[in-house]
């Protein structure tokens, strides 16, 4: 019985956290460094050989990402993300580069708000995400599908602005110029900014409560002034009565 009550209480707390914030929009812009891995490469085990200066001969490149979305609750958001990058290939003939774009729809989960409650003044938020989308090799005019997941970290700068650090992983497949016959993987590191706009229902409620509290304070002040005036009038009435009696 106690275990059931505990589970019900935990579920209620999570539900309250999820509805604490509602309908806040955001846009993001990042600089991206990325590395690509073919089938058979131990990319999850030893990705450092393709880092800048790591001595690898793999596919690496730089680019930008643009994203926009909406926090449906303090825990869950939907995001549309566009990545644009150039991938360089080192070979004996020199350095070649292909241009790509990837468009993803992603679901994001703010685990900081999930486990610690909604706090608009929190310095750091950890936000895992998962999604899927479409990618195109513009240099070879090929399309392919992809899956994406990663972790977005935001660091509060102002009430509307935050710094980003994001680690992502994309998995491509199909017959396009990116995947060919086999699946290829891509790791990305992104640095940028997030700007939030619009007011959540929670913020609107807080503003309404503040206005209501201020109005009640003003009413209390007026009531106090009226009470003082009544007391002064009563004192004047008594003084007039005393003056009449003395005459």
Asked if 177 and 232 sit in the same domain, the reply is: no
The answer to whether residue 2 sits within a structural domain is no
Query: Around Cβ 202, how many Cβ atoms within 10 Å?
Result: 18
The series of mean pLDDT values per 10 residues for the chain, 247 residues long, is 43 43 82 76 50 54 93 94 77 61 96 92 96 88 88 95 95 59 78 86 55 67 85 86 77
The answer to whether residue 213 sits within a structural domain is yes
Return d(Cα 191, Cα 155) in angstroms, integer: 11
Please answer whether residues 32 and 190 qualify as being in contact, where contact means their C-beta atoms are separated by less than 8 angstroms.
yes
The answer to whether residue 167 sits within a structural domain is yes
Residue 28, token pair as written in the block: 């993001």
The answer to whether residue 159 sits within a structural domain is yes
Q: What pLDDT sits at residue 234?
A: 87
**In terms of residue numbers, what domain contains 192?**
20-198
Going by C-beta distance under 8 Å and a sequence separation of 6 or more, which residues neighbour residue 186? Answer: 34, 35, 36, 37, 169, 170, 171, 172
Q: What pLDDT sits at residue 175?
A: 52
Asked if 76 and 170 sit in the same domain, the reply is: yes
The answer to whether residue 10 sits within a structural domain is no
Asked if 63 and 179 sit in the same domain, the reply is: yes
Structural domain count of the chain = 2
DSSP helix/strand/coil, 201: helix
Return d(Cα 172, Cα 134) in angstroms, integer: 9
Q: Point out the domain boundary residue: 168, 183, 198.
A: 198
Return d(Cα 237, Cα 235) in angstroms, integer: 5
Query: Around Cβ 5, how many Cβ atoms within 10 Å?
Result: 9
Asked if 167 and 89 sit in the same domain, the reply is: yes
Q: What is the separation of C-alpha 141 from the centre of its chain, rounded to a whole number of angstroms? A: 33
Q: What pLDDT sits at residue 238?
A: 85
Asked if 81 and 128 sit in the same domain, the reply is: yes
How many residues does the structure list for the chain?
Answer: 247
The answer to whether residue 244 sits within a structural domain is no
Whichever domain contains 163, its CATH number is: 2.40.160.20
Asked if 76 and 125 sit in the same domain, the reply is: yes
Q: What pLDDT sits at residue 96?
A: 56
pTM metric for this prediction: 0.67
Asked if 191 and 206 sit in the same domain, the reply is: no
| Closest by Cα among 22, 94, 96 to 61 | 96
DSSP helix/strand/coil, 123: coil
Residue 20, token pair as written in the block: 């604490």
Q: What pLDDT sits at residue 41?
A: 58
Q: What pLDDT sits at residue 46?
A: 47
Q: What pLDDT sits at residue 107?
A: 97
Q: What pLDDT sits at residue 222?
A: 78
Asked if 177 and 204 sit in the same domain, the reply is: no
Return d(Cα 164, Cα 152) in angstroms, integer: 7
The answer to whether residue 84 sits within a structural domain is yes
Asked if 179 and 205 sit in the same domain, the reply is: no
Return d(Cα 231, Cα 172) in angstroms, integer: 82
Asked if 57 and 178 sit in the same domain, the reply is: yes
Query: Around Cβ 115, how many Cβ atoms within 10 Å?
Result: 12
**Angle at Cα 152 formed by Cα 66 and Cα 73, nearest 5°?**
90
Asked if 82 and 182 sit in the same domain, the reply is: yes
Asked if 101 and 64 sit in the same domain, the reply is: yes
The answer to whether residue 247 sits within a structural domain is no
């Amino acid at each position: 019985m106690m275990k059931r009550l505990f589970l019900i209480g935990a579920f209620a707390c999570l539900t309250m956290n999820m509805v604490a914030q509602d309908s806040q929009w955001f846009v993001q812009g990042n600089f991206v460094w990325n590395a690509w891995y073919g089938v058979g490469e131990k990319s999850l085990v030893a990705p450092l050989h393709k880092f800048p200066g790591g001595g690898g001969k793999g596919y690496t490149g730089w680019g930008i990402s643009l994203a926009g979305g909406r926090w449906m609750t303090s825990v869950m958001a939907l995001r549309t993300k566009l990545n644009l990058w150039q991938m360089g290939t080192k070979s004996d003939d020199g350095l070649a580069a292909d241009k790509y774009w990837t468009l993803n729809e992603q679901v994001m989960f703010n685990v900081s708000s999930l486990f610690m409650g909604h706090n608009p003044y929190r310095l750091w938020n950890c936000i895992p995400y998962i999604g899927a989308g479409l990618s195109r090799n513009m240099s070879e005019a090929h399309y392919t599908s992809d899956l994406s997941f990663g972790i977005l970290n935001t660091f509060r700068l102002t009430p509307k602005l935050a710094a980003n650090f994001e680690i992502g992983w994309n998995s491509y497949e199909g017959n396009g110029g990116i995947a060919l016959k086999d699946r290829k993987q891509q790791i990305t590191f992104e640095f940028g900014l997030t700007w939030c706009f619009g007011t959540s229902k929670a913020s609107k409620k807080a503003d309404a409560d503040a206005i209501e509290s201020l109005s009640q304070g003003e009413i209390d002040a007026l009531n106090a002034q009226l009470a003082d005036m009544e007391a002064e009038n009563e004192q004047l009435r008594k003084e007039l009565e005393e003056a009449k009696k003395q005459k």
